Amino acid sequence: MGSSKIVIIADFSIIPLGLGTTSVGKQIAEAVNAMKKVEGMRYEVTPMGTVLEAERLETILEAVKVAHEVLFKMGVKRVESNLRIDDRRDKPRTMEEKVKGIKEYMKK
Protein backbone atom coordinates (compact mmCIF):
# COMPACT_ATOMS: atom_id res chain seq x y z
CA MET A 1 0.00 0.00 0.00
CA GLY A 2 1.83 3.12 -1.17
CA SER A 3 1.39 6.70 -0.11
CA SER A 4 -0.40 7.73 -3.33
CA LYS A 5 -3.79 6.52 -2.04
CA ILE A 6 -5.79 7.76 0.88
CA VAL A 7 -5.59 5.25 3.72
CA ILE A 8 -7.40 4.90 7.01
CA ILE A 9 -5.30 4.28 10.09
CA ALA A 10 -6.84 2.79 13.22
CA ASP A 11 -5.63 1.92 16.69
CA PHE A 12 -7.31 -1.27 17.94
CA SER A 13 -7.10 -3.13 21.21
CA ILE A 14 -9.09 -6.17 22.23
CA ILE A 15 -9.58 -7.50 25.74
CA PRO A 16 -10.90 -11.00 26.44
CA LEU A 17 -12.61 -11.06 29.86
CA GLY A 18 -13.39 -13.76 32.37
CA LEU A 19 -10.41 -15.99 31.70
CA GLY A 20 -9.42 -16.43 35.34
CA THR A 21 -5.86 -15.29 34.58
CA THR A 22 -4.09 -12.02 33.88
CA SER A 23 -2.32 -13.47 30.85
CA VAL A 24 -4.08 -12.84 27.52
CA GLY A 25 -1.16 -13.22 25.06
CA LYS A 26 -2.48 -16.43 23.51
CA GLN A 27 -5.89 -14.89 22.85
CA ILE A 28 -4.39 -11.68 21.44
CA ALA A 29 -2.17 -13.73 19.11
CA GLU A 30 -5.22 -15.61 17.81
CA ALA A 31 -7.06 -12.33 17.24
CA VAL A 32 -4.11 -10.91 15.27
CA ASN A 33 -3.80 -14.13 13.26
CA ALA A 34 -7.49 -13.85 12.34
CA MET A 35 -7.10 -10.20 11.31
CA LYS A 36 -4.08 -11.06 9.13
CA LYS A 37 -6.43 -12.94 6.82
CA VAL A 38 -8.45 -9.80 6.02
CA GLU A 39 -7.39 -8.71 2.54
CA GLY A 40 -6.37 -5.14 1.82
CA MET A 41 -5.05 -4.37 5.28
CA ARG A 42 -1.65 -3.83 6.86
CA TYR A 43 -1.07 -4.01 10.59
CA GLU A 44 1.57 -3.45 13.23
CA VAL A 45 1.37 -5.01 16.68
CA THR A 46 2.43 -2.68 19.50
CA PRO A 47 2.75 -3.37 23.24
CA MET A 48 -0.68 -1.83 23.90
CA GLY A 49 -2.67 -2.68 20.78
CA THR A 50 -2.51 -3.09 17.03
CA VAL A 51 -2.37 -0.35 14.41
CA LEU A 52 -4.43 -1.16 11.31
CA GLU A 53 -4.14 0.48 7.89
CA ALA A 54 -6.50 0.06 4.93
CA GLU A 55 -7.97 2.00 2.03
CA ARG A 56 -11.54 1.23 3.09
CA LEU A 57 -13.23 1.67 6.46
CA GLU A 58 -15.11 -1.57 5.85
CA THR A 59 -11.80 -3.43 5.85
CA ILE A 60 -10.89 -2.08 9.29
CA LEU A 61 -14.33 -2.97 10.64
CA GLU A 62 -14.09 -6.47 9.17
CA ALA A 63 -10.76 -6.99 10.97
CA VAL A 64 -12.36 -5.97 14.27
CA LYS A 65 -15.26 -8.35 13.64
CA VAL A 66 -13.06 -11.37 12.90
CA ALA A 67 -10.92 -10.63 15.96
CA HIS A 68 -14.01 -10.70 18.16
CA GLU A 69 -15.38 -13.84 16.54
CA VAL A 70 -12.17 -15.86 16.90
CA LEU A 71 -12.10 -15.16 20.63
CA PHE A 72 -15.68 -16.33 21.02
CA LYS A 73 -14.81 -19.48 19.07
CA MET A 74 -11.98 -20.04 21.58
CA GLY A 75 -14.57 -20.10 24.36
CA VAL A 76 -14.20 -16.53 25.64
CA LYS A 77 -17.60 -15.41 26.93
CA ARG A 78 -17.03 -11.64 26.95
CA VAL A 79 -14.87 -9.41 24.74
CA GLU A 80 -14.27 -5.69 25.01
CA SER A 81 -12.38 -3.63 22.46
CA ASN A 82 -11.33 -0.08 21.76
CA LEU A 83 -11.13 1.31 18.24
CA ARG A 84 -9.82 4.76 17.34
CA ILE A 85 -10.01 5.65 13.64
CA ASP A 86 -8.08 8.33 11.75
CA ASP A 87 -9.97 8.74 8.46
CA ARG A 88 -8.14 11.65 6.81
CA ARG A 89 -9.10 12.22 3.18
CA ASP A 90 -7.24 15.41 2.29
CA LYS A 91 -3.73 13.92 2.28
CA PRO A 92 -2.43 10.45 1.52
CA ARG A 93 -0.12 9.03 4.17
CA THR A 94 0.82 5.69 5.71
CA MET A 95 1.49 4.62 9.29
CA GLU A 96 5.21 5.16 8.73
CA GLU A 97 4.72 8.61 7.22
CA LYS A 98 2.59 9.69 10.15
CA VAL A 99 5.30 8.65 12.63
CA LYS A 100 7.99 10.28 10.50
CA GLY A 101 6.11 13.58 10.59
CA ILE A 102 5.95 13.49 14.39
CA LYS A 103 9.65 12.70 14.64
CA GLU A 104 10.44 15.68 12.41
CA TYR A 105 8.55 17.96 14.79
CA MET A 106 10.46 16.43 17.73
CA LYS A 107 13.78 17.57 16.19
CA LYS A 108 12.71 21.21 16.31
pLDDT tens readout for residues 73-89? 999 999 999 999 999 88
The whole model's pTM is what? 0.87
Q: Domain boundaries in the chain?
A: 8-107
| pLDDT tops 60 at residue 1 | no
Instruction: Say if domain 8-107 classifies as CATH 3.30.70.930.
Output: yes
Give the phi and the psi of residue 14 in degrees, each rounded to 5: -130, 140
**Distance, CA of 67 to CA of 31 (rounded, Å):** 4
CA–CA distance from 11 to each of 74, 76, 98 (Å)?
A: 23, 22, 13
Distance CA 64, CA 41 (A): 12
pLDDT tens track for 14-57: 999 999 988 999 999 999 999 999 999 999 999 999 999 999 99
Q: Following DSSP, what letter does each residue of the chain receive, concatenated?
A: --TTS--EEEEEEEEEE--SSS--HHHHHHHHHHHHTSTTEEEEEETTEEEEEESSHHHHHHHHHHHHHHHHHTT-SEEEEEEEEE---SS---HHHHHHHHHHHHH-
CA 74 to chain centre: 20
